[in-house]
Amino acid sequence: MYQPQPGTAAEFIAWAIRFQGLCRAGESIMPPAAASNLGYTPPDGGWGWAVVFAAFISIGFSYAFPKSLTIYFKEIQEYFSVSYSEIAWVSSVMLASMYAGGPVSSVLVNRYGSRPVVMVGGLMVSAAMVLASFGTTIIHLYLCVGVIGGFGLAFNLQPALTIIGTYFQVKRPLANGLAMTGSPVVLSTLAPLNQFLFDSFGWRGSFLILGSIVLNCCVAGALMRPVKKSVQPKPKTEPPECNRAAAEDTSAQLSNLLTEESPSESRSQSCMHKFIDFSLFKHRGFLIYLIGLVVYAVFFGLAFGMVSALLFEALMDLVGAHRFSTAVGLVTIIECGPVLLGPPISGALVDIFGDYKYMYYACGVFMLVPGIFFFIMHYYNYKKLHEEQRQSVIVEMRTSKDTIELKMSQDDKTVHETDG
């Protein structure tokens, strides 16, 4: 008698059930993540969190430093007697050099590792700011701040993104998200600091001080030691009870101090009126501007935070950890052109029309069009992936069915020959 081969009919039924589920659910099929064959198990912790902190500093300076320098542009513009578009080229060249230096940074990271590249990058940015403080022409600033400083930031950004993938695998999205928060944190810190430095020392003295501040990137680079292949995760230890008690005592002392200082609150409030004009909150135009700015900051901050946290994480899933360093270099160079032309175009719009509103109109259009494009193309891509998945299931199901029928016919023929 015919005995069915184990697994053949079950395989056919499994494919049929899978195909039916796909047809009913109509689910979107995402491409699988690239396999990351590192040859070792990443520690997913331990010294990796120190590396995340170092990446936090490096990424923060890379993204925030060019934006924070704009506070000096008005003074530099008047000093060199240049237009808005000419002074905008300083940050434009710096950002373009940072993105264009991605491939060079990738080669250096693959050859020497992240630690020396980040430290050299910090020295380059520091030297660029010190040399720029002695600048006599706007071209001097283009070369020092723009080219040298931009390449120094490139040597900070790409290695910091790469080394996280060597320390983390399961917790990599969390590690990348924490590292990318360095951009808003450093920017919110540098903004008031630059204002203080500008009021106290002018743009030349501020550039000298900033040259020493960015040397913290060298400290961050020193923390990026290569991962040990046989690292074992260390068990987490609970904080000792004495530390907890000390923290409670400290909080109690702080609350007592606040209670003692409460009678002087009215005096401090009267002093605040000398420095802050609270009548602005009765100004209709200022309130409209403030509410609009808050709404913009909330939506832009949320969108930028989500994109930044997953931007390079998605790239690593697509290409794998082995090719991530090269992929980052190729991706960042694509951003070079728009980043280079964006600030001069916005400055030219202000020079031509003498009004800032046209610059905001252009920025709104430039941000809206890519969002609509991604929304439509992602829907199209997922739909095509679903169709391709259905077709592959149909082909595999037909192949399995033909195999089963062929096997059954061969077995029937064998049975007839045995009976004969």
Q: Where are the alpha helices (DSSP H) in 113-215?
A: 114-132, 138-141, 149-167, 172-180, 182-213
219 is a domain residue = yes
Q: Which domain holds residue 345?
A: 48-229+284-354
| Contact indicator for 42, 232 with CB cutoff of 8 Å | no
For residue 66, is pLDDT > 80? Answer: yes
242 is a domain residue = no
Question: Which one of 298, 333, 354 terminates a domain?
Answer: 354
Instruction: Looking at the structure, tell me whether residues 177 and 63 fall in a common domain.
Output: yes
Instruction: Looking at the structure, tell me whether residues 115 and 73 fall in a common domain.
Output: yes
> Could you tell me the pLDDT band of residue 314, with boundaries at 50, 70 and 90?
low
Q: Which pLDDT does position 181 carry in this prediction?
A: 84
77 is a domain residue = yes
Token digits of residue 70? 């704009």
Instruction: Looking at the structure, tell me whether residues 350 and 365 fall in a common domain.
Output: no
d(CA 255, CA 165): 43
d(CA 166, CA 41): 9
Token digits of residue 295? 């709404």
Instruction: Looking at the structure, tell me whether residues 61 and 128 fall in a common domain.
Output: yes
> Could you tell me the pLDDT band of residue 57, with boundaries at 50, 70 and 90?
very high
Please state the rounded mean pLDDT for residues 369-389: 79
Instruction: Looking at the structure, tell me whether residues 72 and 174 fall in a common domain.
Output: yes
Instruction: Looking at the structure, tell me whether residues 309 and 367 fall in a common domain.
Output: no
Instruction: Looking at the structure, tell me whether residues 307 and 413 fall in a common domain.
Output: no
pLDDT in tens, 168-200: 888 888 888 888 888 888 888 888 898 899 889
Please give the tally of structural domains in the chain: 2
152 is a domain residue = yes
251 is a domain residue = no
Read off the CATH number of the domain in which 212 is found.
1.20.1250.20
pLDDT in tens, 76-123: 888 998 887 788 888 888 988 888 888 888 888 888 888 999 999 999
Q: Return the exposure string of 324-345: e unless at least 16 CB atoms fall within 10 Å of the residue's CB, then b.
A: bbbbbbebbbeebeebbebbbb
Q: How far is CA 130 from the centre of its chain?
A: 28
User: What is the percent of the chain with per-residue pLDDT over 90, rounded to a whole number?
Assistant: 18
Q: Which pLDDT does position 40 carry in this prediction?
A: 74
391 is a domain residue = yes
Instruction: Looking at the structure, tell me whether residues 375 and 323 fall in a common domain.
Output: no
pLDDT in tens, 1-49: 444 444 445 454 454 555 455 444 444 444 444 445 567 788 888 888 9
Instruction: Looking at the structure, tell me whether residues 219 and 289 fall in a common domain.
Output: yes
Question: Which one of 300, 323, 354 terminates a domain?
Answer: 354
